[in-house]
Amino acid sequence: MAYAVIVVVVLAIVALVVVKVTGGSSNPGSHGPAVTSAPASLVTQVTSVPLSEAAQVGTPSSAVVAPKVATGQAPLTTDGKPEALFIGAEFCPLCGAERWAIVMAFSRFGTWSNLDVTTSSPYDTPPAVATFSFRNATFSSPYLALTTVEHETNDTTALGTRKLFQPVTSKEQNLWSKYSAQFGVNTGYPFLDMGNKVFVTGPSYSPYALVGLDQSAIASKLTNPNDPVTQGIVGTANYITAGLCAITGGQPASVCSAPATTAASKALGMGA
């Protein structure tokens, strides 16, 4: 009898542990990485890197792949504003790296709300890149509009166990397909269309720079312009900033005339 009681107690404890481990995720029914609200302090660290430091980083050619530029395309707009479109996926480590630069660059033009944090797939290569998620995020700006799509969830129990999450519209699919093909790449993640003028159609810098670091550790490195993490994130953000200035008519002037932005514009062939 005593043995039976012990077995029942042990089974009850195991059941409680299983409930706690599998039920603590912010995504009911998912066993993948949790998606939780980004701490305000983290967002502040990422969005407050001064333009003077951005100028020190510049456009490091050894660390960052420049975006592509298209000419003669019909502008992408919404509600009278130039529009940018991001398509990514939560499992994707390349997207995980790119989102840091996207959060930084767009914060120079407006304000983020409801950003989340997560990691990329623990089963992909490289695994578990600490990042943001845009699934609940909104961005407000007097200069431009941003549409974000997290097209697939994270992997749950193995590589490839992700699911479709936020669908793309036919318009978004057409843009994604058209400009991927135009630049000779397969339709994939990450994809960033800045007004049908400047495009990110793949990784801008290596996600391996972030391996083994959590969000706090990544953000803490952004004060050192010589750190490889900062080189990748800020260098990419400088290029994205130049792309956005190309569609906002150079506004805001304080950002678009900053040395980091004008250097990136020149590197893209869009400035003197």
Give per-residue pLDDT as tens, 212-254: 999 999 999 999 999 999 999 999 999 999 999 999 999 999 9
pLDDT tens-digit readout, 84-128: 999 999 999 999 999 999 999 999 999 999 999 999 999 999 999
pLDDT digits (tens, 9 = 90+) for 126-170: 999 999 999 999 999 999 999 999 999 999 999 999 999 999 999
Give burial (CB, 10 Å; 0-12/13-18/19+) of 69: middle
User: By the 8 A CB rule, do 161 and 155 touch?
Assistant: yes
Instruction: Determine contact, residues 188/202, Cβ cutoff 8 Å.
Output: yes
Length of the chain: 272
- Give the count of beta carbons closer than 10 Å to the beta carbon of residue 212: 10
3-state secondary structure of 193: strand
- Helix, strand, coil tally for the chain in percent (to 5): 40, 15, 45
Distant-in-sequence, close-in-space partners of 52: CB < 8 Å, separation ≥ 6: none
Secondary structure class of 185 (helix, strand, coil): coil
Percentage of the residues of the chain whose pLDDT score is greater than 90: 86
Coil, strand or helix at 182:
helix
Query: pTM to 2 decimals?
Result: 0.88
Whole-angstrom Cα distance, residue 244 to residue 262? Answer: 12
Tokens 């993640």 sit at which residue? 189
Q: Which DSSP category does 147 fall into?
A: E
- In single-letter form, the type of residue at position 210 comes to L
Give strand ranges (E) for the chain: 36-37, 68-69, 77-78, 81-88, 111-113, 116-119, 130-133, 138-140, 145-150, 191-194, 198-200
Tokens of 209: 């720079």
Nearest Cα neighbor of 165 from 154, 179, 156, 157 is: 154
